[in-house]
Structure 1
Amino acid sequence: MNAEKFFKHPVGIMLAATMATLLWGSAFPFIKLSYGKLGIGKDNWPEQLLFAGYRFVMAALLIFGFMMLIRKKAGYQSGTLLKIGKIGLFQTFLQYVFFYYGLSGSSGIQGSIIAGTTSFFQLLLAHFMYKNDRINRKIVIGTLLGFAGVIIVNMTKGTLSLNIGIAEICLLIAMFFGALGNVFSKNAAQELDVLYITSWQMLIGGGAMLLLGVAFAGIMPFTFTWETILMLLYLAFLSALGFVLWNNVMKYNKVGKISMYLFLVPVFGVILSALMLSEEIHLIVLLALGLVVSGIVIVNRSKA
């Protein structure tokens, strides 16, 4: 079975999308743990950028290595800079500049729930970019439910006051840029190989973060241990494999058909954050998670 048949087959879609969302969901607790062990504070954005730059440049190198292993051309292809540069700007640089800062000021569970909004942003963008992916009543209802979940998870425990700060706003902005990057990647994949797109956009976006981080924090302000090195390697691996799988699923299917799988990101993220960070899963978190998942399912539910 070739790549197109696999990523169009229902089982192939399920396997690839589920694996990608599991990997992305695991990023929340691993980033939080890495911040703690490396002493990266909430307001230390230069070190956040540097750490993200390490991660995505390493992810690009992993994909380049895989391409050489399977004897696929990994070198730059003339005339593609604008396309891969635009994807690198949105899918990696802008998404993760805001994501890393936002996650440093929120819990792993909060970040996981907010990540569920990527699906809604993708569907809204698809409405304006594709004639066969228009907004309808299901999308409106699902979007309202999803954002209600985002608001509820940020309510202060024991009160009715909201606790939406700059960190949560940055996470929402990150999810929008991520959705926009996903759509740009889908468009580019009609002409370019997914491995080529993913590796080069990560190298461009990650390289930009690395340069900014080095300019303000130096090239190596961290004291790495074997534990933190393995965490960084895992984050690079999950980025490489997760984006390769997801960009292939996006290439061969309609946005509306596969966006429902993004509800698994907050599901995996909440569960893994609770297990790894000892964060409590209160009833209000389960309610918020239920609203986000319900919204995405309603949006993607077939007419049948």
Structure 2
Amino acid sequence: MTNQNIQSRQSWLITGFIFAILWPSAATATKVALKDAQPLVVAVFRFGIAATIMLFVSHVILENKLPQRKEWRQLAIYGLLNISVYLGMYVVAMKEVTASVGALTVAASPVFISFLSLIFLKKPMSPRILLALLVCISGFVVVAWPLFADASVTARGLALLLVSMFSYALGTIYFTSRQWESLHLLTINGWQTLLGGIFLLPFTLLTYKSDANLFSAGFWAGTLWLALPVSIAAVLLWLKLIKQDAVKAGLWLFLCPIFGIIIAAVLMDDPISLFTVGGLAMVLAGLAISHYDKKLSTPME
């Protein structure tokens, strides 16, 4: 093996491990920020910071072109599904579920995407995908089951989390089914994030309570982590992985729920019980069963 091959392999492994740690860390970072702020306040600040940075880099530094005509409509729809509905509902749901459950749900997103692709892309109905979805959802319930007793997880929170994942899957399918001409991915991600945040702003203002938002160090730490390492760095790392090898890149998603649970246990004291291990095994099994479409599995959070 040549030095170049060794360096390429090392770069692949480092990139993959960093992605697998950053992507599921969103659940714990969200819980940290939510200790001192309302859910939609966290979301709007996160999207505003991430979008401002991405658009500055895209249009000012890289001098990429602005979206044109129909692209604005596509960006608005994509932002509505992928940011406003998905992440808006996700952050509200995280108020009523543990970081472990949140990390598991996000890690299983390829299964939701594969399921909805059967419907919206008119692919042949696959019993394998239906089984994978059922196994993954059962895994979430198994992890959450012992937590219902002390209200660490509520039925409403779990339901919102699952509905949000369907919106994410629908948004991803919409993204892949549209022509984006020569728009840079940073431009697409920046504008859909900004537009999605703008759509959430009226709801944020209507529900805002000044005494519920302390804007503490914890709030800024969690929000900035969501905006920078998750919304920007993790997405760019994922794009780098699938550019090199889309098939092998998908294998890193199997590490995401493992790292997500570890991070939640260390930083949030989330319990790791036999239910946690069993539910994790079911989610991983669901991912393995699905053999998801690699073209539809790109995280764009």
Would the TM-score normalized by the shorter structure come out above 0.5? yes
**Structure 1 range deviating more: 293-302 or 270-279:** 293-302
Is the counterpart of residue 65 in structure 1 residue 56 in structure 2? yes
Query: Per-residue deviation at 1:63?
Result: 0.6
Counterparts in 2 of 1:83 and 1:252: CA distance versus 1, 3 Å: farther
Structure 2 counterpart of 1:294: 285
Q: Secondary structure at the match of 2:255?
A: helix
Tell me the TM-score normalised to structure 2 length.
0.79
Which letter maps to 2:281? Answer: G
Counterparts in 2 of 1:122 and 1:104: CA distance versus 1, 3 Å: same
Instruction: Return the match for 2:173 from 172, 183, 191.
Output: 183
Work out the CA distance in 1 between the residues paired with 2:179 and 2:19.
18
Which letter maps to 1:284? Answer: F
Is the counterpart of residue 124 in structure 1 residue 123 in structure 2? no
Counterparts in 2 of 1:177 and 1:245: CA distance versus 1, 3 Å: farther
Q: Is the 8 A contact 1:186 1:247 kept in 2?
A: no
Correspondences of 1:211-290 after superposition (within 5 Å): 211-217=202-208, 222-237=213-228, 238-246=230-238, 261-290=252-281
Structure 1 counterpart of 2:91: 100
Q: Is the 8 A contact 1:259 1:300 kept in 2?
A: no
Instruction: Return the match for 2:102 from 97, 108, 111.
Output: 111
Tell me the TM-score normalised to structure 1 length.
0.78
Structure 2 counterpart of 1:153: 143
Q: Secondary structure at the match of 1:104?
A: coil
Work out the CA distance in 1 between the residues paired with 2:39 and 2:266.
24
Structure 2: state its 5+ residue gaps.
1-7, 294-301
Is the counterpart of residue 35 in structure 1 residue 25 in structure 2? no
Structure 1: state its 5+ residue gaps.
1-8, 41-46
Work out the CA distance in 1 between the residues paired with 2:54 and 2:191.
9
Q: Secondary structure at the match of 2:63?
A: coil
Work out the CA distance in 2 between the residues paired with 1:158 and 1:172.
16
Q: Is the 8 A contact 2:52 2:190 kept in 1?
A: yes
Instruction: Return the match for 2:44 from 53, 74, 79.
Output: 53
Work out the CA distance in 2 between the residues paired with 1:85 and 1:13.
34
> How many residue pairs align between the two structures?
281
Query: Per-residue deviation at 1:105?
Result: 0.5
**Structure 1 range deviating more: 78-87 or 243-252:** 243-252
Structure 2 counterpart of 1:3: none
Query: Per-residue deviation at 1:95?
Result: 0.4
RMSD across aligned C-alpha pairs, in angstroms?
3.4
Correspondences of 1:154-173 after superposition (within 5 Å): 154-156=144-146, 165-173=155-163
Report percent identity of matched pairs. Answer: 22
Q: Is the 8 A contact 1:102 1:170 kept in 2?
A: yes
